[in-house]
Structure 1
Amino acid sequence: MSSPSKRREMDVMKLMMSDYKVEMVNDGMSEFYVEFQGPTDSLYQNGKWKVRVELPDAYPYKSPSIGFVNRIFHPNVDEMSGSVCLDVINQTWSPMYAALMMRDKEHYEQKVREYCERYAKPEDIGSHPEESSDSDLSDEESTSSDEEMAGPADP
């Protein structure tokens, strides 16, 4: 590729020609929404999500900013903002970020299914994370802490 802008254009065009629904923001190719179904044969298979993607000027040398519009329960997605933690995936991922999944897989899977049912139906992809309130959370969710999720620190 001769420049980051050409790479951005090529990647966005490939995405637009795929089976995903892509909705551009403004006239540029740096911001857009993508709608997708959860992967078949996964806990997410019955869900439908919409993500907002922002490609920086230095893309592909700098990673995109990606955030879920509707809520998803996933170890690498901030539950309240919907931000995908790319730095966690790329640099500092550790089991602490998936503590519930590792400690209590059945509870984790139940929570994923609950979020799919509550927040990932086709009609949910139009709502924005800031429109949901803490009242949507169960008492257990609103009182949990990172330490509770990860368990006690090792001595």
Structure 2
Amino acid sequence: MSSPKRRIETDVMKMLMSDYEVTLVNGSMQEFYVRFKGPEETPFQGGVWKIHVELPDQYPYKSPSIGFTNRIFHPNIDELSGSVCLDVINQTWSPMFDMINIFEVFLPQLLRYPNPTDPLNGEAAALLMREPKAYDTKVKEYVAKYASKDAADDDDEPSSDDDEMSSAGSFDSDDEPAGQMEV
């Protein structure tokens, strides 16, 4: 049995060597940002989100927490805090999964198949159920406004974090990212 620390290093190295753009926070392998692109053939296509990831000391036995730093319109993602409602992952998380699974399977599936019956964003859920075409339109508006490559890049200014964040519509403070959720 390998130690959680070794497993964290292995999983993060896999992410760093993948096609994903990964930025470690203060050189720590337990906190980093990953650039995530919206899945093809969905209203999220063309969007780029910066995902904040924190790995608990007990990883992989305890699931990572993830959150979107730039805004997204989706029934299972809180629009302001970026927290993700992924009960599926929380309940079925297994040490067999790794970080790549989250970005190649879990998040694309979440964006492709939203669950409006268990919403974190009631407005998105209601719109998806009542007017799916209007929902798609609003998702595309958010992608254009908040998830362009430039919008995700704006987030990278370390000193003016708060200004950039609020202009991107996020209300996280520097101390503790609001609403980071277990995945």
Query: Normalised by the size of structure 1, how large is the TM-score?
Result: 0.75
Q: What RMSD, in angstroms, separates the aligned Cα atoms of the two structures?
A: 2.3
Q: CA deviation at 1:96?
A: 4.1
Counterpart in 1 of 2:40?
A: 40
Identify the match of residue 132 of structure 1 among 159, 164, 167: 167
Give a deviation string over 1:38-83, Cα, whole Å, max 9, x none: 1111111111111111111111121211111211111221101111
Q: Percent identity?
A: 58
Q: CA deviation at 1:103?
A: 2.4
Identify the match of residue 102 of structure 1 among 129, 153, 162: 129
Query: Number of paired residues?
Result: 133
Instruction: Map 1:1-155; keep pairs closer than 5 Å.
Output: 1-87=1-87, 90=90, 95-97=117-119, 98-125=125-152, 126-127=154-155, 130-132=165-167
Give secondary structure in 1 for the equivalent of 2:29. Answer: coil
Deviates more, 1:18-27 or 1:103-112: 103-112
Instruction: Report if aligned partners of 1:12, 1:29 keep a CA contact under 8 Å in 2.
Output: yes
Determine which structure has more spread, i.e. the larger CA radius of gyration.
1
Long gaps (5+) in structure 1:
135-155
Larger RCO: 1 or 2 (CA < 8 Å, sep 6+)? 2
Counterpart in 2 of 1:142?
A: none
Query: Normalised by the size of structure 2, how large is the TM-score?
Result: 0.65
